[in-house]
Amino acid sequence: MDLGSNLRARARVCLQQQEDEEMLVPHQELTEGPQPMEVLSAETVSASENQQVEDPPTLKYRWTIENFSRLNTKKLYSDIFHVVGYKWRVLIFPKGNNVDHLSLYLDVADSATLPYGWSRYAQFSLAVVNQIHGKYTIRKDTQHQFNGRESDWGFTSFMSLSELYDPSRGYLVNDTFVIEAEVTVRKVVDYWSYDSKKETGYVGLKNQGATCYMNSLLQTLYHIPYFRKAVYHMPTTENDMPSGSIPLALQSLFYKLQYSDNSVATKELTKSFGWDTYDSFMQHDVQELNRVLCEKLEDKMKGTVVEGTIQHLFEGHHMNYIECINVDYKSTRKESFYDLQLDVKGCRDVYASFDKYVEVERLEGDNKYQAENHGLQDAKKGVLFIDFPPVLQLQLKRFEYDFMRDTMVKINDRYEFPLQLDLDKDNGKYLSPDADRRVRNLYTLHSVLVHSGGVHGGHYYAFIRPTLSHLWFKFDDEKVTKEDAKKALEEQYGGEEELPQTNPGLNNTTFKFTKYSNAYMLVYIRESDKEKIMCDVDEKDIAEHLRIRLKKEQEEKEHKKKEKAEAHLYTIIKVARNEDLMEQIGKEIFFDLVDHDKVRAFRIQKQLPFNHFKEEVFKEFGIPVQFQRFWLWAKRQNHTYRPNRPLTPQEETQSVGQLREVSNKTHNAELKLFLEVEIGPDLHFLPPPLKTKEEILLFFKLYDPEKEDLKFVGRLFVKSLGKPTEVFSKLIEMAEFPPNEEIDLYEEIKFEPTVMCEHIDKRISFKSSQLEDGDIICYQKSLTSTNRNQFRYPDVPSFLEYVRNRQVVFFRALEKPKEEDFSLELSKLFTYDDVVERVARQLGVDDPSKIRLSSHNCYSQQPKPQPIKYRGVDHLVDMLVHYNQTSDILYYEILDIPLPELQGLKTLKVAFHHAIKEEVVIHIIRLPKNSTVADVINDLKTKVELSRPDAEVRLLEVFYHKIYKIFPPGEKIENINDQYWTLRAEEIPEEEKSLGLHDRLIHVYHFTRDSNQNQMQVQNFGEPFFLVIKEGETLTDIKIRIQKKLQVPDDEFSKWKFAFISLGRPEYLQDSDIVSNRFQRRDIYGAWEQYLGLEHSDTAPKKAYTTNQNRHTFEKPVKIYN
């Protein structure tokens, strides 16, 4: 296969041979604005035959979707593509998978036909290509073990729909959408069988979900021995719990990293931070976590033997100065730092960043310095370093805020860093006059923290030299590998790389790729402090109680491991007794007789005779062997467990293993028994009574409707042909009722999927009622029709129904979705009306129909975007289910009008722009759904102040500073979407009402250009508007009218430039140009494609919020709570 010519012909699919895991993105086709319409559909090229055997097979797949906004389907699959024989496809939810974001996944295409137990491991990235600027392509990467239960994996909230559907952002061009997937398949056996400790001497850290950023930092800190020693010497006690003590949790983690043979979990540490599961699935910033963690440790070290360690290791000082040029005045301020943020953009290496850091700024002209006693003066301003710390942490500014696009971007430029860093170079040009020149600031590189991916997500790992020798190791979550210096240094510089050509002899097109894996943080150690920092750390540095605790943990772990290995030699016998039934029924359980996981369990060798096991029971419970009778439990067809029959004398002579096989058809290692013991009136043990075939063993529960209490009261042998009335006196005695009390009996039959509890006829025999050994009878006092009404659950069936379906629900106000407000005990069978009535009563709302509820998304831990419609679900259980999970959280709103009325209305948020005053007022318009735009305008007129009573008003659709539509007055409002688009109302100017034959109504937009990007790219801002232009009118004439309309001062307006813009490309106009000549075409796709552009700087203050914000967005800073 000629891969080079194939790339030239299609420029659609790229496959590269990779020696590492860097993500590569082709630049070639992402230049100079939107791509031509003839973009090919998804195709793949595989060159695995060119792959080295040891390299994991990797394939890059590109999927182009045309007419994207017109897709009418909830989800869409790509064509199937192959990576080493495995079939894959991309799965997309164009309108989001129940979220306000695009949802994107990688799917195993043939999962339905693969054999049972299949699995495959893949590292992959998914990208939404920016067709205007490759720089803004959104790329996220992850890894997953695909299997029958999890055959697709990816990102539910990949990117916001508002960003995707904004044509100016470049993700949707000519209604064409482009997705890239890059898949690396790895052998599962290699991944799981690799032993980091055996191969490298070090172990990794387990990833809790999105904690690779934390793992890379913890490994770096651990491998600074002086830091580790200080952590070990922080005072902790044996009474501390790691989950509640940061020092102990960190000590425990470091100890396990030092002495464990397997990867170490970080859950105890994150619990000590006060993090919940949601925090662990939020990817944060390494630098932010580093600062917060060091601040916490610094605080915890105060008043201890290690106080000041953090400052001693990481704290340096610099001097900010302002020095006047013409007078003798200088102002200085000393500041400390724990890390330094170095610019990457515009700097080729670390030294260039330091040069920029100490660069002198001139304060002159309008920017003169106000010097004390000297007035305004020309001055120079800068920073110089007083001292550097022994451990120098350099944070590389790979992420920057792009003010032009109002978004964060990742800087993937090439940026070099040396193995040895000399900060005394050029006669100490970085040092202040106060610096101690005797200290030699020569540093050696200790670790490189890497970020692989884009601004919206990615993966962190670290290259570390634990002993500062020539040996480098890569710490990537659980896996630690040996690496060469080139991998840790040159290959983490970033920048671009050329795709190797498969046929060098041909004149192939060269493809360059941005390397998305690059250094993000560097740690250097000063040569003169190296011996002290890289000290020995051994067991004597670890507190004795910590050693004992962790060794005990290790022993327990080994014991469990041994038990697991020897499990085939043993049987677990679980013995339930009367005492267990008394203790559990009515408290922990209500159905069946016992929770077998909470009874005494014996681990017995399989070959041991059962009679010998009875000796063990005697030792445990003090019940002599001759008074023990054991019953086997049986699982019935209705999934209940009941004692089925007693063991025979012959069976008791068998081995434990043989008995287990007889009793257990599921072949697990457990034998479940019920121990029957008879106790006489004098509380002495009695021999078990002779059981005949005519007798059955029944278990009895007593229900009290007044207390709503169910409890176990005992068991009885009854004659199968006898009637319940024959044992009434015994049952009344067991219940401690008066002798003549009337009672009702019910049989508890099953509780899954629904409760089945039937009344027992006292007049017929137990056998006629189909009662047998192990059955459960619940009984209670008989109630009259009068006193039944006194109780919520007057009889056993209604009580068991309640218990089966009761549900505690935690309610939160929708505007405060993280704060629990109140909880209610409800029934899963409650109707919609029952639930809102209880919520309204709790909130003191008279009209329950004014309560609106929203369900909980179990994956995002946020409210679902769409609230529950009035009577839109049948029961409470339907409100709580989210896919295959059940939540216990609901969100509420208190409406100002009843929900049925609100649902019959369309609510629109309209921004009214006053014709004369410089003000914009947002109005909420509610009208019946069959209303028209004219109805909206008439309603709005009653709410706003018009420039004159007869003024005409129109409604516009505005999106990202462009006008997309003037709504016809007759258009129905039901389908108008104001979630992503802004609805603007304004008075129609008089000049637009009487357009001449050759007059044109054109769009006029404000724009600016990003000097750091492609010069053709424009960024719109501000309020767009319409303008009437006359035939033959010059730009000079139009400028006068625009200046008057916008009321821009002369000095500012003189700096403005004017351009005819078509499809995002500006063509600048001269004052003498006839503007109407440019606006001749009628066949344009949309009016926003051609407009008059006003180029000037955006001086409006940045808003603290986004107008069309997603309904629920939570961005949490790193916080350590304890």
Active centre residues (catalytic): 212, 459
SS (H, E, C) 17-75: CCCCCCCEEECCCCCCCCCCCCCCCCECCCCHHHCCCCCCCEEEEEEEECCHHHCCCCC
- Lateral strand order in the sheet of 379-387: 330-337, 316-324, 379-387, 361-363
Side-chain half-sphere of 1119: how many Cα atoms within 13 Å? 10
d(Cα 588, Cα 599) in Å, to the nearest integer?
A: 13
Count of Cβ atoms closer than 10 Å to residue 603 Cβ? 13
d(Cα 1046, Cα 367) in Å, to the nearest integer?
A: 29
Tell me, what amino acid is at 676? E
Nearest alpha carbon to residue 610 among 635, 596, 624, 630: 630
Are the CB atoms for 933 and 925 separated by under 8 Å? no
Residue with tokens 């990833």: 207
Nearest alpha carbon to residue 406 among 1011, 980, 1104, 1115: 1104
d(Cα 379, Cα 376) in Å, to the nearest integer?
A: 9
Query: What does the block give as tokens for 86?
Result: 């495995």
**Helix (H) or strand (E) run with residue 443 in it:** strand 442-454
Dihedral class, residue 141 (left if φ above 0, else alpha if ψ from -120 to 50, else beta): beta
d(Cα 943, Cα 936) in Å, to the nearest integer?
A: 11
SS3 content of the chain, % helix, strand, coil (to 5): 25, 35, 40
| 832: helix, strand or coil | helix
d(Cα 547, Cα 553) in Å, to the nearest integer?
A: 10
CA 1093 from centroid of its chain's CA atoms: 41
d(Cα 1010, Cα 996) in Å, to the nearest integer?
A: 38
Nearest alpha carbon to residue 592 among 790, 437, 747, 776: 776
∠ Cα 529 524 203 (to 5°): 100
Tell me, what amino acid is at 944? V
d(Cα 21, Cα 19) in Å, to the nearest integer?
A: 7
| 546: helix, strand or coil | helix
**Helix (H) or strand (E) run with residue 851 in it:** strand 851-854
Query: What does the block give as tokens for 641?
Result: 């467990």
d(Cα 788, Cα 780) in Å, to the nearest integer?
A: 12
∠ Cα 946 949 954 (to 5°): 55
Query: What does the block give as tokens for 681?
Result: 């009136």
d(Cα 774, Cα 715) in Å, to the nearest integer?
A: 9
Count of Cβ atoms closer than 10 Å to residue 265 Cβ? 14
d(Cα 890, Cα 823) in Å, to the nearest integer?
A: 10
Residue with tokens 């998304």: 857
- Lateral strand order in the sheet of 1018-1029: 1018-1029, 1000-1009, 1090-1095, 1057-1062, 1065-1068
Close Cβ partners of 53 (under 8 Å, ≥ 6 residues apart): none
